[in-house]
Amino acid sequence: TGSSEPPPKLVLDLERLQSVPAEKAGPLARYAATIQGQRGDYNGKVLSIRTDDLRTLAVIYDVPPAVLAEQLITWGVLNADARRAVAQED
């Protein structure tokens, strides 16, 4: 493991998420809404999430975490730096 870089942050763009078709974004949108509710964090344009949450979402979407990260980056709802969070493990 490289120790020179800071750990990656996973940041969801909640505004972009609203423009992704519901059949794709639905599980992610529900998951993000659940985290917002648990935190009482309703007014943000972005939502920082745990690396573990991306792994959980990968189970929900039934793809490897790195594949889901690429998908979410392509949709524009996840910051590109987030791919480092799941790059080392596959």
In angstroms, give the least distance from the CB of 59 to ligand C2E.
13
Site size toward ligand C2E, by CB under 6 A: 13
Using CB atoms, what's the residue nearest to ligand C2E?
A: 44
Instruction: Map residues 3-22 to x or -, x wherever contact with ligand C2E holds by CB under 6 A.
Output: --------x-----------
Query: How far apart are CB 37 and ligand C2E at their closest, in Å?
Result: 9
Binding mask 36-55 for ligand C2E (x = CB under 6 A): --xx-x--x-xxxxxx-x--
Sequence-distant (≥ 6) Cβ neighbours of residue 13 within 8 angstroms: 45, 46, 76, 77, 78, 79
Where on the chain is the footprint of ligand C2E (CB under 6 A)? 11, 35, 38-39, 41, 44, 46-51, 53
